[in-house]
Amino acid sequence: MSEEEQQGGRIFFSNVGRSMELEDEIRLTSVGIDIGSSTSHLAFSRIVLERLDTRYMVVERTLLHQSEVLLTPYAGDNEIDAEALGAFIAEQYEAAGLKPEAIDTGALILTGVAVRRRNARAIGEIFSAQTGKFVVVSAGDGLETTLAAFGSGAVARSGKGGR
């Protein structure tokens, strides 16, 4: 393994020379960022995948840091304050003891009315460009409702019948 493949003893998930088919266990550092109409927050996690036959299964999830909740900052009536939001996210990386380049994967979701702001796409592009390893989702009201139903367990419970 070359020196470029390691940094502080850590092998990066996205190394060009990495062969996942030779690995039985993969550890990822992930961040989830939610920029909503009224609040924004993020969480950092460690995810462990183990190979079972020909596919990987998540066997462990550990929350590394969960941010405080920020009232989504606005600049005027139709724009998210990108500078204030960026400063908040930078503070949370520092609080977690992580740098953007240490993130293997992540998701950025813009929800509710925040997705309708004039600079919502630019906000998504700014944060996903920091590492280039993000899935970016813009959730309108319909998708947000669906995510909430699944996330709360309401869909699983409704399938069981009874109360």
Domains of the chain: which residue ranges? 23-160
At residue 73, does pLDDT exceed 50? Answer: yes
Tokens of 163: 């109360």
Is domain 23-160 annotated with CATH 3.40.50.150? no
User: Could you report the per-residue pLDDT of 46-61, keeping only the tens digit for each?
Assistant: 999 898 887 889 999 9
- State the average pLDDT over residues 121-148: 66
Amino acid 2: pLDDT = 37
Return the half-sphere exposure (C-beta side, CA atoms, 13 A cut-off) of residue 137. 18
Tokens of 77: 């009536």
- State the average pLDDT over residues 21-29: 81
Assign 107 a pLDDT band (cuts: 50, 70, 90).
confident
User: Could you report the per-residue pLDDT of 89-106, keeping only the tens digit for each?
Assistant: 889 999 999 988 888 888
- State the average pLDDT over residues 58-78: 90
Q: Quote the crossing angle between the two packed helices 120-131 and 82-96, to the nearest 10°.
A: 30
Are the beta carbons of 80 and 120 closer than 8 angstroms?
yes
Tokens of 23: 């690995």
- State the average pLDDT over residues 36-46: 89
Torsion, CA 71, CA 129, CA 121, CA 33, rounded to 10: -30
* Percentage of the residues of the chain whose pLDDT score is greater than 90: 20
